[in-house]
Structure 1
Amino acid sequence: MPEGDAVFRSCATLHDALAGRALTHVELRVPSAAAASQGLVGQRVVEVVPRGKHQLTRLDGGWTIHTHLRMEGTWKFVDAQGRLPGPDHEIRVLLGNDETVAVGLRLGMVDLVRTDHEDEVVGHLGPDLLGPDWDEELAVANLLREPSRTIGEALLDQRNLAGIGTIYRAESLFHQRINPRTPVAGVPDLLALVRTAQRLLAANKGPGPWVPTASGRDGRWVYGRAGKPCPRCRTRIQCEEYGPTTQERLVWWCPRCQPFG
């Protein structure tokens, strides 16, 4: 699933294509919002902003189109008279103006809510690592609400802090030499950990080339490098899948740099 930095870049691209222009074509191809689509035609897009891994397209009529990429979602863009990308049954959202049509393919969530009721869809989220509401002390306090929970699970819980996923979980824990199975209460410096996560995501929110978290060809210290030598100590990187039932995710770590216990 795209993480906060990728969602940030996606929103920036949507904003550039849509903001300040009136919508000439709208299709929200989900049962809960399809009937309201035509009522959005003529409204101007005010902005497209991220909230963690969520996307909020705000209109001047007081409505917000809420979307989430989940695992397979993506946005593509075509000229106003261009041929839509397909297949057609994968299109969830069409947002068009006189110049461009933004096509949301395989989106995991599509909702239409009043802008002043956005909390209905994103109010459960913790502070956004890349947002104006970022509050590192609140993030730490949220993590400490369940002190016996493993830090690897707690970091992926978007109610604690929003935007981090498996890439930045693995990299942040490695930088701080913390084993992912360490209980939250056993992490020596939670503030340093969340600061590291925020720094790594922020380095990659811009439009330029991806900024590696480590030197060398792989560009990452541990993520996706199971069985390869740790760039720091040459011990083989380990990988396992764990987490709450139905929410298991892969995690990578170096057993020497990140010992457990």
Structure 2
Amino acid sequence: MPEGDTVWRTAHRLHQALAGAEVVLCDLRFPSLATLDLRGASTLEVVSRGKHLLHRFDNGITLHSHLKMEGQWRVEAPADTPRWLRRDDLRAAVGSTSWSALGLRLGLLEAVPTSAEATLVGHLGPDLLGPDWDLTAAVANLRASTDPIGAALLDQRNLAGIGTLWAAESLFLSRLGPWTPAAELDQADLERLVTRAQTLLDQARHHAVQSSTGNRRKGEENYVHGRSGRPCRRCGTTVRVAMIGPAGRERTMFYCPGCQHGLGPTDDGRPQRPLGSTAGRATPYRRA
């Protein structure tokens, strides 16, 4: 699922293409929006709120979308738009005379009065990339959580924008075990963790390739995320992946047992092959 930095970049691209322009193309392929026609309205702005996109129009309507796992918004020239309109996975098209915004495989699309946006995103915690960012509030939310810190970071009600990539990388760089109860971490540790996460997202939003290492070459971008079965860049222990979070809402968590206080409680300790590997076995982790 795209994380806050990717969604911010999407909003920025849509805003640059459509802000101030009158809508001349409106094709919304969700049953609840089949009769909504935005033609004649103009785009005021497109902004992100955590992992949510809010497209505001001057007629008082906001078009809200969520990319979920596979969705994306593309910006195409009007001359190229007809071929995209023929695609079975197109879910929305909103265009001006200059550019068309094309929503593919969107997980969610709905329209509400702009004054009622809080009914859609009001439950979210402070947005790490938003004007409402509040470190103190985010840390207080985490300290009040009954979840392990890895799951608490992924709970958008605590702070908005972090997904499995930035949760894993932030925890690794902070040398914190993902399964440590959030409430057991002291104020200073939480402030350092959240500040690191916010810094990572803030840096990443300006680049097409997400990287925590500063190296954007393929295979060199991250420390632990997507690197299960491979040696830790810091200590050499085999990086692992296990599930974290409440039943029914489990998410993957990559981590290093050597740097992050041993095996997670949901990790059976069996050797794990590197992702994408079809032969051979990963070296079992060693304690560092």
Matches within 5 A, 1:108-119: 108-119=107-118
Cα deviation code 1:130-163 (max 9, x no counterpart): 00000011011111222x3111111100000000
Matches within 5 A, 1:31-180: 31-36=31-36, 38=37, 40-82=38-80, 83-85=82-84, 88-146=87-145, 148-180=146-178
Greater RCO (CA < 8 Å, at least 6 residues apart): 1
In structure 2, the CA distance between the partners of 1:238 and 1:117, relative to structure 1 (3 Å rule), is same
Residue 193 of structure 1 pairs with residue 193 of structure 2: yes
Distance 2:70 2:210 in 1: 23
Q: Is the 8 A contact 2:142 2:183 kept in 1?
A: no
Amino acid at match of 1:54: H
SS in 2 for 1:84: helix
Amino acid at match of 2:174: Q
Give TM-score, length-normalised by structure 1.
0.94
Q: Report the CA distance between 1:186 and its aligned residue.
A: 2.0
Q: Is the 8 A contact 2:27 2:93 kept in 1?
A: yes
The alignment of Structure 1 onto Structure 2 pairs a total of residues equal to 257
SS in 2 for 1:113: strand
Amino acid at match of 1:6: T
Q: Which moved more, 1:134-143 or 1:27-36?
A: 27-36
Distance 2:147 2:17 in 1: 42
Give TM-score, length-normalised by structure 2.
0.85
In structure 2, the CA distance between the partners of 1:12 and 1:56, relative to structure 1 (3 Å rule), is same
Q: Report the CA distance between 1:227 and its aligned residue.
A: 1.2
Amino acid at match of 1:156: L
SS in 1 for 2:126: coil
RMSD: 1.6
Matches within 5 A, 1:21-32: 21-32=21-32
Residue 15 of structure 1 pairs with residue 9 of structure 2: no
Cα deviation code 1:10-59 (max 9, x no counterpart): 111111111110000112211222212x2x21111011000000000010
Q: Is the 8 A contact 1:25 1:96 kept in 2?
A: yes
SS in 1 for 2:102: strand
Q: Which moved more, 1:71-80 or 1:16-25?
A: 71-80
Q: Which moved more, 1:149-158 or 1:209-218?
A: 209-218
SS in 2 for 1:103: strand
Q: Report the CA distance between 1:234 and its aligned residue.
A: 0.8
Amino acid at match of 2:253: V
Q: Report the CA distance between 1:81 and its aligned residue.
A: 3.1
Q: Report the CA distance between 1:88 and its aligned residue.
A: 2.9
Cα deviation code 1:148-182 (max 9, x no counterpart): 31111111000000000000000000011111100
Give me the identity figure in percent.
Answer: 46
The runs of 5 or more residues in structure 2 that have no matched partner are 264-288
Aligned to 1:253: 255
Q: Is the 8 A contact 2:148 2:180 kept in 1?
A: yes
Q: Is the 8 A contact 2:129 2:201 kept in 1?
A: yes
Q: Is the 8 A contact 1:178 1:187 kept in 2?
A: no
The runs of 5 or more residues in structure 1 that have no matched partner are none
Matches within 5 A, 1:194-209: 194-206=194-206, 208-209=207-208
Question: Which one has the largest radius of gyration?
Answer: 2
Q: Report the CA distance between 1:97 and its aligned residue.
A: 0.7
Aligned to 1:221: 223
Amino acid at match of 2:139: V
Amino acid at match of 1:26: C
Q: Is the 8 A contact 2:147 2:245 kept in 1?
A: no
